[in-house]
Amino acid sequence: MNKPAAHLETAIVEQDTHPMADLLRMDRMPHIWCSGCGLGTGLTCFIMALKETGIPEDKVAVVSGIGCTGRVAGYLNLDSFHTTHGRGIPFATGLALANPDLRVVVYSGDGDLVAIGGNHFIHSARRNMDLMVVCVNNFTYGMTGGQAGPTTPISAKASTAPYGSYDYPFNIPYLAIASGATYVARWTSLHMRRLKNSMREALPKKGFRVIEIICPCPTAFARKNRLGSGLDLMKHYHDNSIIKHGADPREADIDMNGKVVCGTFLDIERPTFRDFQTENIAKQLGGE
Amino acid sequence: MGEERRVLTGEHFLTGDHACAEGGMAAGCMFFGGYPITPSTEIAERMSLRLPEVGGIFIQMEDEMASMNSILGAAWGGWKSMTCTSGPGFSLMMENLGLGIVLETPTVLVNIQRGGPSTGLPTLSGQADMMQAKWGSHGDYEIIALAPNSPQEIFDHTIKAFNLAEQYRTPVLVMSDESVGHMTEKVIIPPREELKLVPRNYTKKKPGEYLPFECGEDEIPEMVKAGDGYKIHITGLTHDKRGYPDISAEAQDWMVRHLMNKIQKNKKKIIEVERINMDDAEVVVVSYGISSRVAHRGMDLARKTGVKVGMLRLITVWPFPDYMIKELAERVKAFVTVELNFGQIALEVERYVAGKAKCYLVPHAGGDVHKPEDIAEAIKEAAK
Amino acid sequence: MKYWRKPLDADTIKVPHGRIYVVKEQCKGCGFCVEYCPKDVLELSQEFNKKGYHSPVAVREEDCVSCGLCELICPDFAIYAELIEEDETTEETPNKTDKTEKAEV
Amino acid sequence: MKGATTPSRKEVRFTGYGGQGMVVMGLILGRAAAVHDGKSATMTQSYGPEARGGASSTQCIISPSRIFYPYVIEPDVLVGMSQEGYDKHRLNIKPDGKLLYDEDLVTLSPEEKTKNIHSIPATRFAEELGRKIVANIVMLGFFCGLTDFVAEEAIRKAIEESVPKPTITLNIKAFDKGKSYALSLLEGSAAKAKS
């Protein structure tokens, strides 16, 4: 860690002068996320990506489940919905279908999206629903104190796995691709530019898009597993992540000490749920 | 195809389930998210056929939790929405019925009740979800629940449920039963222009002025939809008028009182009952749904033996018409509650009779309806 | 990574300069910006903010090229850099005067 | 025809096997009464998990006024299209009620006490018409010839609205077959009574 500087000449400004203040609910800042948590970095990337796409702010809605990541909905100054645990995707499904002008983003955590919400995740991917899903994976239930989750690596300790977690974790890109998603990428919080670019790429696309962000949780996951600070985890990603676009998702398992495969795993087009509704069904009805 | 297919004006011979779907259509429903479960499946089937005709969307979700959430999402997307379920599916919807109540989302949930607990009697009738309707989602809340007793009524009451949902910005339940859902009778669908529909109460306020949970004396907040520039935030957490989470006892007190008051304060406007033979009644049968039709025969049989018996048929079960029971308890001898369970609404009756008259229950586990003779016997016993 | 030779057009390329702004009370002192600033401009201050964190200061602001990485990596919306226009380097930044102290360049 | 129907509550039970079209019979009769004959009608059916092969029973209440109790108390007519259905319900017929049955599928109990009994080889007639599946409509024609609960024209309209369009002619033929068989039986018994 750098030693503190001796002088203090840097411009100190009010919070609402930050360039992202227009897309944040500044009356709710500072946010609840811990020092060294990567969630905010991912959110910064999202805001920048959104600005770069030029999609009007009024036409973007964000839906979250609950938990640390679930708070994203409450911090973004967009139409935003903070639903129940795991149910972000089905809520977003109704929202997106009822209002096709909206770009609907589901922004939630690993426990929310692939444990309690796992069924919704795979079925929404199967239908190729027009949703962009950002899954922040910090390997744990952070807000409630570090319980084991569906992505907790084998042998990692958690408050509900004091002897180590010994059930196999989900490999989210593999799960998403197998279920039918049409855009799948994974980045760590350290890959800010690439993450932002992925989000910019995925935001205007149709279909079920999944972006996984591997994210440090210094308070719950790192502490229980003696992995150091958030910064230490960022350094770990620096040393251990490999970028491999188009990688076989089966190679993207994450364990405690191995490599983290990042990149865009898949980027294809196939008809979405709405395409089928508007084309096939409409054609049948029109033919009568 | 288009809106001209929305209201199938005319005389039909329909099952309760199909009549329910037609009620949804006539009410302006554009979105149905559901999961098939007997005996409500025919509603979903009919909606899957009918909604695309008017440009609406039917989606078969992966389970009932998803179904309930999808209709909430669709409501905030600006569409009228509904789902239907039965038995275990109703249990699964409880979590997000609570979300619907807390987000004050207008939507309609139809429960075609079957025998329980658990998988129970998928194809046979029951009325044992009545307390679950009121208390099934965790936390304190008030709910509106209607109990139609014929295909015509399930058509009418599905429209009414949509209207109440918009009027009070809340999910509304239609608590029917297998017997009514699977019964076929004449259903008259009126001309479109004769339907009385309540449109969504969209705010006239501008972005920046509007708060999603701010309300006046009537306790009913105005609505917006996503995409209109209001940049709303709404949350299932306890929240303030802005919709921002406020996890404090004070915020909880405000929010829960508001949710209860908005129904309780307006209950005299909401509640609907049918009074039969009540002018000279000394014994009052309280019943709803299919049981009310069976009890009607029980009442006729008892009347033939000279008992002065009438019926208070609950069309609205929740909010419970407590003031009517209180008033009747002052002047009648006894109440006989007839329902396909072991005493759910009977408990409410007893609560408001408060010892001022005798209270009887004719219990039934479900799977069939009561024998009218048993009801007649209970009425005669009550008249003694 | 080091360049093995000086770029041929190095004389014609203008190196941009940035000014760094810190939302001090929003910072949680994670150190991400300090660690990953490619020009090593930042250090953590010795002072505490109200929540007890050390926020960053630009100790070598003259080296800042306004690449924007600090803004992107900051999880707390607490730091950003602004490109200084050539003719503006000695003037106060408009709109910021009422709220900011001018940075020492 | 409307005036010919009696003004009190009538109850009909159709029993048979799943797949014989018992539900369709109830639907057509109920629809005819409710939509085309100015009456009230309530049709209910036994629901089981099996679509075919199991016992199937349909009840139809027809009344000039609002129907409260929607189930059969004591049927005015029991229609038996299966032995099992007949055996199960034969003791529950109104004292002056009628029993109608398919004579190839049902053997009467030696203790059968019902006075008004009429049989028809409905399934055989249907086969002769080319489609066994219309046996229920043959039976409905037979029912129509022997009762006055619902106007004949109303039933014909309800058939046309309820069966697949390409089969309307066949179904109307089936209905006519059953109806004329009923009339010939009535004439036969009238002639017998005369002689």
Q: Which tens digit of pLDDT belongs to each residue from A233-275?
A: 999 999 999 999 999 999 999 998 889 999 999 999 999 999 9
Interchain pair C99, A20: CB under 8 A: no
Name every residue whose Cβ is closer than 8 Å to that of residue D113 and which is 6 or more positions away in sequence: none
Cβ–Cβ under 8 Å, residues B4 and B53: no
pLDDT of residue C1: 52
Q: What is the DSSP string of B282-326?
A: SEEEEE-HHHHHHHHHHHHHHHHTT--EEEEEESEEES--HHHHH
Q: Which of residues 55-84 of C touch A (CB under 8 A)?
A: 56-59, 61, 69, 71-78, 80
Of A118, A63, A116, A72, the closest CA to residue A94 belongs to A63
Residues of chain C with pLDDT below 50 are: 89-105
What pLDDT digit, counting tens, does each position of B352-370 carry? 999 999 999 999 999 999 9
Which chain B positions have a beta carbon within 8 Å of D48's beta carbon? 123
pLDDT value at position D107? 96
Q: What is the pLDDT of residue A171?
A: 97
CB contacts < 8 A, A to B, total: 149
Cβ burial of B240 (10 Å; 0-12, 13-18, 19+) is middle
Q: Do B71 and A120 touch (CB under 8 A)?
A: no
Which residues are CB-neighbours of D46 under 8 A, at least 6 positions away?
D55, D56, D57, D58
Assign B333 a pLDDT band (cuts: 50, 70, 90).
very high
- Number of domains making up chain A: 1
**pLDDT value of position D49:** 60
Rounded to a whole number of angstroms, the distance from the CA of B185 to the nearest CA of chain A is 29
When mean pLDDT is compared across A279-288, B182-191, D116-125, the lowest value belongs to: A279-288
* Domains of chain D, each with CATH number or no CATH: 8-190 (3.40.920.10)
Mean pLDDT throughout B68-92? 98
Type of residue found at D56: S
In chain C, the domains with their CATH numbers are: 18-104 (3.30.70.20)
Comparing B3-194 with B272-383, is the CATH topology the same?
yes
Tokens for B102, please give them: 């807390």
pLDDT at D56: 86
Average pLDDT over residues A155-180: 96
Of A98, A277, A281, nearest to B77 by CB-CB distance is A98
Contact A205, A270 (CB under 8 A): no
A117 part of a folded domain = yes
Least confident among A50-54, A55-59, A279-283: A279-283
pLDDT at A186 over 60: yes
Looking up tokens 């039970």, which residue turns up?
Answer: D13
For chain A, what is the mean pLDDT? 94
| Residue A11 to residue C100, Cβ atoms within 8 A | yes
In the chain, the amino acid numbered B152 is: Q
* Whole-number Å distance between alpha carbons of A26 and B184: 58
Percent of chain A clearing pLDDT 90 (strictly above): 89
pLDDT over 60 (residue B253): yes
DSSP 8-state secondary structure symbol assigned to residue A135: E
Mean pLDDT of all residues in chain B? 97
Q: Band of the pLDDT at B134, cuts 50, 70, 90?
A: very high
Contacts of A271 (CB under 8 A, 6+ apart): A128, A279
Mark yes or no for CB contact B232/A120 under 8 Å: no
CATH of the domain at A88: 3.40.50.970
Contacting B with CB below 8 Å, chain D residues are 26-27, 30-31, 34-35, 40-45, 47-49, 67-71, 158
Distance from CA of B226 to the nearest CA of A (A): 6
Q: What is the pLDDT, as a whole number, of residue A15?
A: 85
Q: Is residue A271 part of a domain?
A: yes
pLDDT of residue C10: 73
Residue A68 lies in a domain: yes
CB contact under 8 A, B73 and A79: no
What is the C-alpha separation between A69 and A72, in angstroms, rounded? 6
Which residues of chain A have a CB within 8 Å of the CB of C73?
41, 44, 189-190, 192
Yes or no: say if D43 and D58 are a contact pair by the CB < 8 Å rule: yes
CA B9 to chain centre: 24
pLDDT under 70 in chain D at which residues? 1-7, 47-53, 195
Q: Would you say residue B127 has pLDDT above 80?
A: yes
pLDDT tier for residue B1 given thresholds of 50, 70 and 90: low
pLDDT of B61 strictly over 80: yes
Give tens-digit pLDDT for B145-164. Answer: 999 999 999 999 999 999 99
Domain residue ranges in chain B? 3-194, 272-383
Cβ atoms < 10 Å from Cβ of A259: 15
ipTM of the prediction? 0.91
Which site among B32, B58, B62, B202 would you substitute to test the A interface, given the most A Cβ atoms closer than 10 Å to its Cβ?
B62
Query: For B20-48, what is the mean pLDDT?
Result: 98
Q: Is residue A7 part of a domain?
A: no
pLDDT exceeding 90 applies to what percent of chain D?
83
Residues of B in Cβ contact (< 8 Å) with D26 = 184
When CB atoms are compared, the residue of A14, A34, A235 closest to C99 is: A14
Helix axes A118-127, A88-98, angle to 10 degrees: 30
3-state secondary structure of C78: coil
Lowest mean pLDDT of A51-65, B170-184, C8-22, name the range.
C8-22
Q: Residue range B20-40: average pLDDT?
A: 98
Report pLDDT for A287.
53
**Is residue A2 included in any domain, yes or no?**
no
Give alpha helix (H) positions in chain B.
Answer: 16-27, 41-50, 64-76, 87-102, 130-135, 151-168, 178-181, 249-264, 267-270, 289-304, 322-329, 345-353, 372-383
The pLDDT assigned to C100 comes to 40
Answering whether pTM is above 0.80, one says yes
Sequence-separated (6 or more) residues with CB below 8 Å from residue D63: D8, D9, D10, D39, D40, D41
Residue A102 lies in a domain: yes
Interchain pair A90, B230: CB under 8 A: no
A273 to chain B, minimum CA–CA distance in Å? 9
Largest CA distance in chain C: 49
CATH superfamily of B3-194: Thiamin diphosphate (ThDP)-binding fold, Pyr/PP domains (3.40.50.970)
Q: Give the range of the structural domain holding residue A166, as residue numbers without chain letter.
A: 26-284
Task: Give a yes or no: residue A10 inside a domain.
Answer: no
Res D147: pLDDT: 96
Examine residue A186 and state whether it is found in any structural domain, yes or no. yes
Q: Beta-carbon neighbour count of residue B152 at 10 Å?
A: 19
Neighbours of chain B (3+ CB pairs under 8 A): A, D
**HSE, side-chain direction, 13 A CA sphere, residue B12:** 20
CATH topology of domain B272-383: Rossmann fold (3.40.50)
pLDDT at A2 over 50: no
Q: Ramachandran region of residue C95, left (φ > 0), alpha (ψ -120 to 50) or beta?
A: left
pLDDT, one tens digit per residue, over C81-103 is 999 886 654 444 444 444 444 33
